[in-house]
Structure 1
Amino acid sequence: MRTTLEAASERAAQLETELKRTQATLAQSWALTQRMLRPDAPPDLPNVEIAADHQPADGVGSDAWGWVMQPSGRLACFMSDVAGRGMTAALAALTLHTAIKMALRLGVTPSETLRSINAEVYPHYTDAMLLATAAVFTIDGTTGAVEHASAGHPPTLLRLKGTWQRWPATVPPLGVQPEITPETQTATLAPHDFVIVHSNGLADDLRNAVPTHIVDELQPAAAQAVAVAVAAAAKQQRGGHPPTDDQTLLVAHVIRSFGSA
């Protein structure tokens, strides 16, 4: 006949096995979520090159970014950042990433993408006490026309003919107000122009200002070189320590005149 101690020991062993199984399942789920938040390889375009750099913090991140080609032939790029960490924020980031990508694939404009998605997520974000910033821009591959909209995201940087511009968000983050109408910001890109979008974590380390002089000093430079240099500046700013928040940078660079192959 088993003693009480033997029964307790057996039950403890069962609980330990169940705990390990649960932890393994969670680890697989987290890994899958993180993979789904990462974009495929950037499109091979004749006039524009795309690069990104991502420095994850410990745990499950909530930055998402990507690019798609729209039915019109425009390149659409986006970045979103859900406030918070852990599985709740990661799952919110995944659904937001999917919604933005689907809207852009259908040819929806940046402003309308953010407006319509905010209308859908607002009640759910309110219940869960979540909010998310997002920036979206498109580039016309034949004219260089860029169209941009942002909800609460750090300012998007443009280098136009050697001069820097900042396009700030024109509405609060997604989930803050039931209805938003982001302003559409436009410009026309030329060879050697850049569009740079970055996450809140990178903005914090760089004291809310990407060191544009680094980009200027690198000219002429490829998009990937710019992404690596800015990420290195952020690492230096935090003394080489790991980031406390996900840091993501997306760079679009015009490599030749539009209309030329």
Structure 2
Amino acid sequence: MQPTSQPPRKRSIRFQLLLVVNVVLAVFVVLFLIFSYQRDLAGRLEDKRIALEEEAASLLPSLLEMQGEDKEKIQQYLDTICRQMQEIHAPVHHIVVTLPTDPFILLSEHDASDELLEVIQQAASSPGNSATLGESEIVVGTYTQQGATVYISETLDNLYGSVFRDVINNLTGFIVLALITGIVINLALTYIVTRPLHQLVETVQQIGQGELGTQSETFHCAELNYLTHEINAMSASLAAVETTRNRQMAKARKIQENLLPYDIKIPGLEVDFFFHPADEVGGDYFDIIPLDSGDWLFCIADITGHGISAAMSAAVLKTLLIQATEHSSSPAEILDFINRRFTVISPVGEFVSMQLMKANPQTHLFEYASAGHEPACILSRDGQTSDTETTGLLVGIEEDATWENRSLQLSFGDRLLMLTDGASETHNPEGEMFGRKRLIELLKECQSLTLP
């Protein structure tokens, strides 16, 4: 049996399902993290703004009480407050105070600039109370009372870092969850899908290798169980059909064996034969028929095709051959009789190669006609070999075809081998053909042996 070619390698169901699940999960995680990041950032910005407003509200009353005091004293007070904030909160703070009595007082004299005041006031009037200051972003909380306003700003570097760390922690959790989910799905698919499918494939392969009737066990999955049921039903059906076919082939083989001659004894000739079809029932046929004249007719034929059809054609040939010998003993005329009738009743495309050899046991004179058949081999007692000739077309091609007779004069000790092409065209397990040349050499080597 020829091994089937391997199909192109495809991705497994398990891999594709894991890929789909992980891609969907990854998209969901990315969207969730983006939404979570934006939501947490907005929430923390709002919390920070409120906290700064509360700090500004707590700071403003004391500043209002200090309005009449020296400006440097107010500045020192603000510096102290700012340092305390930075020690507690770490991010950089800026405090801007506008009093009715002064244009502005700015904390940290080295940071004092019109640009800083402008950025802080711009942030205070923006929807999110935030603005960009240099390479950093700030958020501002404001509180106004009695014409005085306190602006407290804080850089957001730490806040962004905190939110980003939370996102990383969430991402790590999702990755761990995805790995656990992937492992669980992989194990589940292996148990539910992969192993059952491998078992079903093995069952189908066994059926394909001729083990008809092989059954697969059922599974817990409804879909795979349905597939298993259908495969088992198919296997059982094929086994039943094969059993019926084997019975029919056995009957056909028995019929074919009954067509063959047996226990043939011809005074003046030593005759033996060997019949072994390539298939259970083949298209090869031979016969040995005594003629009313005292001669013997040797027939060998090869019908195209195999099986029951070829066996039926062989039965038809035997019937036609017996009818023909009742009308003539000439090989050419017998071929003509068979051909005219076989051409009418045979299926289109079915032909027969056939050789008829009439032998006189006393004179050893042989007369033959060949319808495209494998040449017979004559081995003389001195070791020389020669072949018969083809004298016409195959039987079944043309209804009006004709053949010619040829004569052979054999002597005592000569041997005549009639055969079909299956004898020379048989192959060994390595695929090497036996060949006609080797067959003739084997015939020469066996010249000294007697027939069984």
> Does TM, normalized by the shorter one, top 0.5?
yes
Q: Which moved more, 1:201-210 or 1:129-138?
A: 201-210
In structure 2, how many angstroms separate the alpha carbons of the residues matched to 1:61 and 1:200? 13
Query: Residue 129 of structure 1 corresponds to which residue in structure 2?
Result: 349
Are 2:379 and 2:444, in contact at CA under 8 Å, matched by a contact in 1?
A: no
How far apart are the structure 1 equivalents of 2:334 and 2:352? 14
1:80 CA drift (Å): 0.8
**In 2 relative to 1, CA 190–170 (structure 1 residues): closer, same or farther, beyond 3 Å?**
same
Looking at structure 2, the residues matched to 178 and 105 of structure 1 have their Cα atoms a distance apart, in angstroms, of: 21
Matched residue type, 2:400: E
Match of 1:87 in 2: 308
- The C-alpha deviation readout for 1:54-113, integer Å capped at 9, x for no partner, is 222232111111101111111111111101012111101121123224423655211111
Are 1:220 and 2:441 matched, yes or no?
no
Structure with the higher fraction of residues in helix conformation: 2
Q: Verify the 8 A CA contact 1:138 1:146 in the aligned structure 2.
A: yes
Alignment of 1:22-101 (within 5 A): 22-23=244-245, 26-42=248-264, 44-101=265-322
Look up the equivalent residue of 2:371 and give its one-letter code. Answer: A
TM-score, with normalisation over the residues of structure 1? 0.71
The equivalent position to 1:201 in structure 2, one of 404, 422, 425, is 422
Higher Cα Rg, which structure? 2
Give, in angstroms, the shift of residue 169 of structure 1: 1.4
Tell me, yes or no, if the aligned pair for 1:62 and 1:85 is still in contact at 8 Å: yes
Partners of 1:82 and 1:75 in 2: CA distance: 23
Cα gap change, 1:106 to 1:223, in 2 (>3 Å):
farther
> 2:5 — aligned with what?
none
- Are the counterparts in 2 of residues 80 and 97 from structure 1 also a CA contact under 8 Å? no
The 8 Å contact of residues 66 and 78 in structure 1, kept in 2 or not, is answered as yes
Alpha-carbon distance between aligned partners in 1 of 2:276 and 2:318, rounded to the nearest angstrom: 18
Asked if structure 2 preserves the Cα contact closer than 8 Å seen for 1:79 and 1:197, the reply is yes
d(CA) in 1 for partners of 2:447 and 2:436?
A: 23
**Root mean square deviation, CA, Å:** 2.8
Q: 1:165 to 1:26 in 2, by over 3 A?
A: same
Assess if the C-alpha contact under 8 Å between 2:425 and 2:435 holds in 1.
yes
Whole-angstrom distance in 2 between the partners of 1:80 and 1:45: 21
CA offsets per residue over residues 111-139 of structure 1, 9 Å max, x none? 111111111111333x4320111111011
Alignment partner for residue 158 of structure 1, among 378, 387, 390?
378
* Structure 1 match to 2:70: none
Q: Alignment partner of 2:443: what SS?
A: helix
1: CA distance between counterparts of 2:390 and 2:435?
A: 17
Segments of 5+ residues of structure 2 without an aligned counterpart are 1-232, 427-433
| Contact 2:301/2:355 (<8 A) preserved | yes
For the residues of structure 2 that align with 1:84 and 1:111, how far apart are their CA atoms? 25
Aligned to 2:337: 116
Where is the strand percentage greater, Structure 1 or Structure 2? 1
One-letter code of the match for 2:439? P
Structure 2 length normalisation: TM-score? 0.43
Partner Cα separation in structure 2 for residue 184 and residue 111 of structure 1: 6
What SS is found at the alignment partner of 1:51?
coil
Identity of aligned residues (%): 22
Letter in 2 for 1:217: E
Residue in 1 that maps onto 2:398: 177
Greater RCO, 1 or 2 (C-alpha within 8 Å, sep 6+): 1
Moved more, 171-180 or 95-104: 95-104
Structure 2 residue matching 1:191: 3-state secondary structure: coil
Q: Aligned pair 1:191/2:412, yes or no? A: yes
**Range with greater deviation from structure 2 (112-121 or 51-60):** 51-60
Structure 1: gaps spanning 5 or more residues: 1-11, 225-261
Shift of 1:208: 3.8
Superposed counterparts of 1:2-21, under 5 Å: none
Equivalent residues of 1:148, 1:186 under 8 A apart: yes
Please state whether the residue corresponding to 2:404 is helix, strand or coil.
Answer: coil
| Stretch moving more, 148-157 or 90-99 | 90-99
